[in-house]
Amino acid sequence: MAENELVAFEPSIEVNPTPIVINNLEQLEMAVNGVVTKYGQDFVVTSDNVADTKKMRANINKIAKSINDKRLETDRQYKKPMADFDKLMKGLGSKVKNLLDPLDSKIEEIETQERQARYDSVKAEISEMAPNYGVSATDIEIQPGWLLKSLSHKKLLEQIAEAMTQLRKDRDQRATDIQTVRMYADQLELESSGWAELISKGEPVSDILAEMDAAAAKRDKERQKKAEKAKAAKEAQAAIDATHQVKQGDETIDTDTGEVVPQVITVKLTGTHKALGQVWAGAKQLGVRVELVDKED
């Protein structure tokens, strides 16, 4: 038998309830029945016998009280052994139960140490395996199931490897999705960083591309609307200007001021930086106002 093995046992108790005997039960019943018969429902109370009836009632009350007192006294006597027994058994039970809390604390302490040891062991396995899978050990979340005693070491390694493989796969896919979003943003002439950030937030790349299409379409529509508005304003101004302008040869003359109206043309120049600078300077010398509209890299 092991040193800490206990023999199961339970109290052996013999209960022999003592019957309660009323020695003069027959006489008691006859006396009670006699009183009931004599002073029952048919008893008539009159002004002549009311005083005697009150005395009789007091005597009946004494009889009832005597019967009840005897009942209570007998009840107490009968319950006392049970109360003593109950107190004794509770005391014994408490002595045994008082052992449980300290034992629970000691067991919990050992189990906590064992859990921490398993945690440290799993963490060490992750640190050792992570470089082989091209992931960081800090990115692997230790699962509750990896800390179970019932999990074999082989199964543990398989599950850790599976988690690392999935992490690497997810990371590579995320990088691919970010590159896809950036390239599509460049194609649509959208700022890419905000859209790429949505990948990190878990939004599907297909949804992001659809949102980018919508944003580009909205921008193009606003640009077109703005251009049409500017064109309409320019045409309206030209119509107003035409009312006080006349054409003389290749020049347009303002009839109000007599001055030549400047012409605006858009040209595309291609050349070296030095050559373009000379063109720019020469134009200014001729009184031509030059404005940079766009510059190609």
Same domain for 83 and 116, yes or no, is no
Q: Number of folded domains in the chain?
A: 2
Instruction: Give the pLDDT of the chain (297 residues) as one tens digit per residue.
Output: 455 666 667 778 777 777 888 888 899 889 888 888 887 777 788 888 888 888 888 988 998 898 899 889 888 888 888 898 899 989 988 988 998 999 999 999 999 999 999 999 999 999 999 999 999 999 999 999 999 989 999 999 999 999 999 999 999 999 999 999 999 999 988 888 888 899 888 899 999 999 999 999 999 999 899 989 988 888 887 777 777 767 767 677 777 776 776 776 677 778 888 887 887 788 788 777 777 766 665
The answer to the question of residue 148 being in a domain is yes
Q: In the numeric block, which tokens belong to residue 67?
A: 């019967």
Say yes or no: 128 and 87 in one domain: no
- 87/121 same-domain check: no
Last residue of one domain, picked from the residues 183, 207, 231: 207
Last residue of a domain, one of 165, 190, 207: 207
Report phi then psi at 123, rounded to 5.
-60, -40
Distance CA 122, CA 110 (A): 18
Do residues 117 and 182 both lie within one domain?
yes
pLDDT of residue 287: 76
**Considering the domain boundaries, does residue 248 fall inside one?**
no
In-domain check, residue 203? yes
Same domain, 118 and 93: no
Distances in Å between the alpha carbon of 68 and those of 35, 65, 71, 73, 74? 16, 5, 5, 9, 10
For the chain, the straight-line distance linking the first and the last C-alpha, in angstroms and rounded, comes to 92
Looking at the domain assignment, is residue 283 inside a domain?
no
Residue 122 shares a structural domain with residue 75: no
User: How many angstroms separate the CA atoms of 239 and 161, rounded?
Assistant: 77
CA-based nearest residue to 193, from 178, 205, 171, 208 = 178
207, 242, 264 — which closes off a domain? 207
156 and 194 share a domain?
Answer: yes
- The verdict on 50 and 78 lying in the same domain is yes
In a domain? residue 32:
yes
Query: Judging by DSSP bridges, how do beta strands 245-248 and 251-254 pair with one another?
Result: antiparallel
Q: Is residue 187 part of a domain?
A: yes
| Residues 161, 201 share a domain | yes
257 belongs to a structural domain: no
Q: Which domain holds residue 178?
A: 112-207
Q: Does 169 reside within a domain?
A: yes
What span, in angstroms and rounded, lies between the C-alpha atoms of 168 and 136?
A: 10
Nearest-5° Cα angle at 241, 239 to 244: 115
